[in-house]
Chains A and B, each alone.
Chain A
Amino acid sequence: MILTIVDPISLLGWIPFLQPAGALGNLWWLLMIPLILGISIAYRATHDASIDQFWQRVFMFVSKSTLAMGSLALVMYLFVYWVIPILRTT
C-alpha cells in the first residue's frame, strides 16, 4: 500500500463546507480517529456515573477503539493479500 501525501495544490480551489475535501489521497482512513473521538466524547459524557478524569477515559476509549479497528484492518489485509492467493494456488 503506497501512501500519497496530501496534495496542497488541489487544496487551493477547495471551498470548505461547500465542497468535499478532495485532497485526502490514501490518507482518508485517518479520519477514523476524529470520528471515534467525537463518538467517545458524547458517549462518555452520558454513560459514566462520574465525569472525573473525563479526558483520560476519552483517550483510553479512542486508543482502544483505534487499536481494535487497526487490528481488524490488519487481519483483513493479511486475509486478502496472503490467505486468498494461497487458496488460489492450491
Chain B
Amino acid sequence: MTNDTNQLDEPLHWGAAFFGWICPGLGQIMLGHRQRGFLAMTGILGLFLCGIFIGGVDCVDRREDPLWFYAQAGSGPIAFAADWANSGLLKTGKVGELIESPPSNPRAPAPLVSSFKTVTVASEIGTLYCALAGLMNVVVLLDALKRRPIDKSQANEGVTT
C-alpha cells in the first residue's frame, strides 16, 4: 500500500513521454534507463521497419486508412514519414506508374492508383505490424511517464531497475 501511494505521488515525466514519442525508447533513456530504452527502441522500430519491409510504404496511409493510421501514429514521426513517402512517391507516380482502377461510381472518372498498390496478405500484415508498433510505443510512453528516474551516480544500477 505504501509503495502504491509513493508511486502515485511520483511526478509525471511529460518531457520523457514526449521524447519517447519522437523516438521510441528515448523517454526511458532520458530517465537514465539506457538499456531498457534501447531494448524498447529495438522492439518498436524493428516492428515498424519489418512492417514497411513486408507491406511497403503503402501500408501507412493517413487518408485511405485513417483508423489504422491512428494506431500507427503512436510510433511517432516515423509513421508520418512513411505516410509522406507513400503520398509523395507512390501516389504521385514518381515511383512505379499510375494506373486506372475500377471506379466505385460508374459515372465518375476512374481513379488513378499506383501500380505498387496491392491488396495482398503481405500488405495487410505490414499494416498490422506498423499498427502494433504504434500501440506498443503507447505502452512504452506510459511507462516513461511514470518511471522513476535514476541518478547519474546510480546509472550502472539502471541495468537492474
Q: What secondary structure prevails in chain B residues at the interface with A?
A: helix
The answer, among A22, A28, A42, for a CB contact under 8 Å with B139, is A42
Q: Which chain A residues in 36-74 approach chain B with CB under 8 Å? A: 37-47, 49-52, 54
Beyond the given pairs A20-B118, A39-B136, 7 more chain A to chain B contacts, judged by CB atoms under 8 angstroms and listed by A's residue number, are A19-B56, A20-B123, A20-B126, A22-B118, A41-B40, A41-B42, A49-B161
Question: CB distance B40 to A42 under 8 Å?
Answer: yes
Judge if B89 is at the interface, Cβ distance under 8 Å: yes
Judge if B73 is at the interface, Cβ distance under 8 Å: no
Interface residue range, chain A = 20 to 34
Query: Which 8 A/B pairs are nearest by Cβ-Cβ distance?
Result: A41-B43, A42-B43, A38-B47, A45-B39, A20-B122, A46-B143, A45-B40, A42-B136
Question: Which A positions have Cβ atoms within 8 angstroms of B?
Answer: 15-22, 24, 28, 31, 34-35, 37-47, 49-52, 54
Question: CB distance B128 to A35 under 8 Å?
Answer: yes
* A36 → chain B closest CB, angstroms: 10
Q: Inside 8 A of B128's CB, which chain A residues have their CB?
A: 35
Question: CB distance A45 to B121 under 8 Å?
Answer: no
Which of B28, B95, B122, B137 counts the most chain A CB atoms within 10 A? Answer: B122
Question: In the assembly, what is the distance between CA of A31 and CA of B46, in Å?
Answer: 13
